[in-house]
Amino acid sequence: MTKKDAPPRWDRKMQQRLARGEAAALGELYDRFASLVHNLAHRVLGDERAADGITRDVFVHVWEHPEAYDPKQGPLRSWVATLTHRLAVQRLRATETAALAQGSGGSAEELERKVRRASVAARADYIVTSMPAPLRAALDLAYFQRRDYRQTAADLGVTEDEARRRLRLGLQLLATAHDAGAPGAPPGYGGAV
Amino acid sequence: MNDAGNADRFGHGGFDDEDAPGGRNGPAGEGGFGDLDDQGDRDDKDEQQEGYGIPGGPANGDGNDDGDDTGHGPGRPPRIPMPRASVEDGGRPLPTLEDLGVPAPQPAPLVLEHRVLKSLLGAWALAACSADETAAVEEHLGDCGSCADEALRLREAVGLLHQPESLDLDPGLRTRVLDGCLDRRPPRIPVPEWAAPYDAETARLDALLQDIGDAEWHAPVRLRWFEGEGPMTRRTTVAGVIAHLLSVDGLVAVALGMDDPLGDIAEADPTPRARTEAYWRTSHYPPNRSVRAPWRDQTHGLVRTASFINDSGPARPAVSYGDFELPLQDALLDRAFECWVHAEDIAEAVDYPYEPPAPRHMHRMIDLAARVLPDVLATRRRAGLASPPHHRHLVPAGEPGRSLRLEIEGMGGGEWLIPLDSPAAVGSAAHEVAHVALDGAEFCRLAAGHVPPAEAAAGQDGDREAIRDVLFAAAALSRM
């Protein structure tokens, strides 16, 4: 479902229903967020089976601890994405560390770089799927469809000024994917995007 | 995996020489902002660009650091030029000077104020400016620290754009994940057993809809069913099928006190077909993918409302389909079956694979069909479409009567004794007069009206008339 603008009311009600132990709510939660969770986990881990495992872990966690979500802190979607990110990066670090311990080559610095790269890429994915639709549409035209900004403006039916503004703003949002600080720091799945 | 933090691409732009001068991405001073290069993260040197580069051309010669060319060292794979065609190659008309925003003739370089140059940074980072603008921006970056910082940041951001991964979720993952959750923390309000097939089938169909493109929503679908003595068809589209499911599921929604998706559309005849036709007729435009959200919301609402029905509470009113009715539990099971049947119609129309339901769900669907068959048989008999009963008097209610043994093979199968002479009679092995054996999927195709009864691949033994009547009655279970 493409319901990014679901009101916070939906988030609150969902949390209440999960807390009440309503299995139907768990199904709805899965239907809304499973793609997001699986794609993010896959971006970090690059492996289907591992992404399945993270998906299971994320939903188990939400189902067992619905009270851990605080609607005042932002949308449920961001919270689920942050949780996914944390669990996926944890797993990546664990598997890479195990591989390192077995002497399969590589260095601790390479490991950190790999974790950081995966982490930034996953955050960027999240930002792209969560940014306002007009910005995403402009980036899509200019990058994937290789339209220049004048063509982008024409395609979107906006002024050239507006097309330039959207491209710049979209990239500014995307650039925040780099801003999480050191690896392991909480990723910025804020409600702003 | 795309490369993250690849600031180094920023510093060496001179790779796409085939981009003719005067094209969109004209001369770029690769040395003009090389000082920014050092800020970049160099750990991805070995990664190739993923089809995206920066505007580039021959170095303009007036840069301050032409030697800063980290990307062309020995052993480094050649940068891949942008596949973007120049105007000349692309067959598009050359931009007029007005298009470029310059008054003609303009031999001097484009001069733009800081505000405009700043607003161009996003387009510049995406290589989506004109050649003159690109040159003007790059000239400016040498002088303006704040723009240069932002330019670097935006150019790095471009490296984070990926083609969205279109990973189709494994449809079986939902059941595994949900079961895993419910094992860890048993639900206080479970989804009742009788609603589980509907929950699963609607989720499977929704996953298919998630994966299809806008155009596929308009792919033609031919609805097929069996009425009286022969097959019927009705043309619609993928979106039309979802509108159909929405309209008919609405019968159950109304019975549960939920809103009618048909809203104010006055419809005297509450049959599935009439409701569907009314919905189609009153839409202002042909149904498109926007029908997915109301359909899905209603399916979620139905499962949720069903969860709050106390099985030991007061009996719920039956769900009326106009010319017949089903108890609530059976109605939702019937909707699960319809959802599967139409999901297969859609999957066929858009050429996607689609699996049958889980065996335990399929078993329930077949069981419903077997339980309803005696009524359908009686209705057909009254209409002269089935042979009269063998006894002058109907078998008394609750008494064993002449029976047909229906054997369904495969996963989800089983055996059912169908009383032939009266819906009130009890199927009896001692009174078995015929035996029919079918594969489960074949039986479901028959009951969906997708296989003519005379052609159903059924092993048959015994009273031919009884077998024919039951196979035709099974096909008559189908409707639009």
Q: Are residues A125 and A54 in the same domain?
A: yes
Decide if B346 contacts B451 (C-beta within 8 A).
no
pLDDT at A109 over 70: yes
A185 within some domain: no
Q: Are residues A120 and A136 in the same domain?
A: no
Cα separation, B379 vs A56, whole angstroms: 49
Q: Are residues A90 and A32 in the same domain?
A: yes
How much is the pLDDT for B144? 93
Q: Are residues A117 and A172 in the same domain?
A: no
Please count the residue pairs, one from chain A and one from chain B, whose beta carbons lie less than 8 angstroms apart.
193
DSSP E strand stretches across B174-333: 220-227, 230-237, 319-320, 325-326
Handedness of CA A82, A87, A91, A94 (dihedral sign): positive
How much is the pLDDT for B229? 79
Of the partner residues A3, A46, A178, the one whose CB lies closest to the CB of residue B156: A178
Q: Are residues A126 and A138 in the same domain?
A: no
Say whether A59 and B304 touch across the interface (CB within 8 A). no
- Domain stop point among A130, A145, A162: A130
**Do strands B426-439 and B400-409 pair parallel, antiparallel, or not at all (unpaired)?**
parallel
Say whether B170 and A52 touch across the interface (CB within 8 A). yes
Task: Sketch out chain B's domains with CATH numbers.
Answer: 8-158 (no CATH), 171-355 (1.20.120.450), 361-476 (3.30.1050)
Say whether A117 and B44 touch across the interface (CB within 8 A). yes
Which chain B residues contact residue A42 at CB under 8 A? Answer: 165, 167
Q: Binning pLDDT at 50, 70 and 90, where does residue A104 land?
A: confident
Which chain B residues contact residue A150 at CB under 8 A? Answer: 99, 130
pTM: 0.76
Q: Are residues A28 and A80 in the same domain?
A: yes
Q: Residue A68: what residue type? A: A
Per-residue pLDDT in tens (0 to 9) along chain B, 480 residues? 444 333 333 333 333 333 333 334 433 333 333 233 333 333 333 333 332 223 333 333 343 444 344 434 444 444 444 444 444 444 555 555 555 555 555 556 788 889 999 999 999 999 999 999 999 999 999 999 999 999 999 999 999 998 766 667 888 899 999 999 999 999 999 999 999 999 999 999 999 998 898 899 999 999 999 987 788 999 999 999 999 999 999 999 999 999 999 887 766 678 999 999 999 988 877 889 999 999 999 999 999 999 998 777 777 788 988 888 999 999 999 999 999 999 999 999 999 999 999 999 999 999 999 999 999 999 999 888 888 776 655 677 788 889 999 999 998 899 999 999 888 888 989 999 999 999 999 999 999 999 999 888 789 999 999 999 999 999 999 988
Q: Are residues A75 and A158 in the same domain?
A: no
How much is the pLDDT for A56? 97
pLDDT at A135 over 80: yes
Q: Are residues A77 and A117 in the same domain?
A: yes
Q: Closest approach of chain B CAs to the CA of A165, in angstroms? A: 6
Say whether A139 and B165 touch across the interface (CB within 8 A). no
Cα separation, A160 vs A165, whole angstroms: 8
How much is the pLDDT for B411? 86
A192 within some domain: no
Phi, psi of B98 (to 5 degrees): -65, -40
Q: Closest approach of chain A CAs to the CA of B151, in angstroms? A: 10
Q: Are residues A112 and A63 in the same domain?
A: yes
Could you report how far apart the first and last alpha carbons of chain B are, in Å?
Answer: 47
Cα dihedral B421, B422, B428, B432 in deg (nearest 10): 20
A187 within some domain: no
Contacts of B239 (CB under 8 A, 6+ apart): B217, B218, B286, B287, B288, B289, B291
Say whether A148 and B123 touch across the interface (CB within 8 A). yes
Domain that holds residue A80: 8-130
pLDDT at A140 over 60: yes
Total domains in the fold of chain A: 2
Q: Are residues A77 and A19 in the same domain?
A: yes
B3 touches chain A (CB under 8 A): yes
Element (H, E) at A64: helix A48-64
